[in-house]
Amino acid sequence: MTNENQIEVLNDLVRINNDRVEGYRKALENLKDDKGLLAPLFLSLQQESRGNNQELIAEISKLGGTADEGTTTGGKIYRAWMDVKATFGGDDAAAVLSSCEGGEDAAKRAYQMALESGDLSPDLSALVARQQGVQREGHDHIKALRDQYKA
């Protein structure tokens, strides 16, 4: 595992977290129903991704790299949040939550792929696994809410 490979994997996660922040910004913008319930959750998930990025960027710097500032347009791990952002059409809570779940699925896959890449040191794998666990909790919360709204 080279520093270059580790930096590339970490930058992919930076981009997916940037996508997640942007996706929840778009979700808030499109949400017409239940803002009182969903807005705090979406803001919390944005903050979670910002915190993830602070940790990832610090590690990229330690490895001698430069963190990407963009989204996954150039990333190799997964690009689904871009599709989710482009397909936001509904403005009711169920439609917005369904789109958010698609983005959370993309983030979940990105974290899994990063861990399976074999390119991370044990310390970085532990960091990514911890972030993955927190992201999975967000995913499960969004999914449960989506199921409630569909019922």
Look at the pTM and tell me if it is higher than 0.75: yes
pLDDT, tens digit (0-9, with 9 covering 90-100), for 52-62: 999 999 999 99
**More confident call, 80 vs 122:** 122
Domain ranges of the chain: 3-150
Can you say whether the dihedral through the CA atoms of 23, 25, 30, 34 is positive or negative? positive
Rg from Cα positions in the chain:
15
Give the class (CATH, top level) of 3-150: mainly alpha
For the record, the structure tokens of 26 come out as 């778009």
pLDDT, tens digit (0-9, with 9 covering 90-100), for 89-101: 556 788 888 888 8
Helix H segments across the chain?
A: 3-30, 35-62, 80-87, 93-116, 122-150
